[in-house]
């Protein structure tokens, strides 16, 4: 479940980073949340 959410967040981050440079801070928050979810999954 966490992996699925993290993958979706990474995809949203990539799409937002490429397509919508306007809300840069929000895009990077998605990336941080996805990385945190991956770390939690590994532990």
**What are the pLDDT digits (tens) for 1-43?**
777 888 888 787 777 766 666 566 776 777 788 888 888 888 8
Domain positions in the chain: 2-42
Residue 20: what pLDDT?
Answer: 64
d(CA 36, CA 27): 15
- Sole residue written with tokens 């490429």: 18
User: Do 33 and 5 meet the contact criterion of CB atoms below 8 Å apart?
Assistant: no
């Amino acid at each position: 479940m966490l992996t699925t959410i993290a993958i979706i967040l990474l995809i949203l981050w990539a799409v937002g980073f490429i397509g919508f440079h306007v809300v840069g801070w929000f895009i990077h928050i998605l990336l941080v949340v996805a990385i945190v979810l991956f770390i939690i999954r590994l532990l």
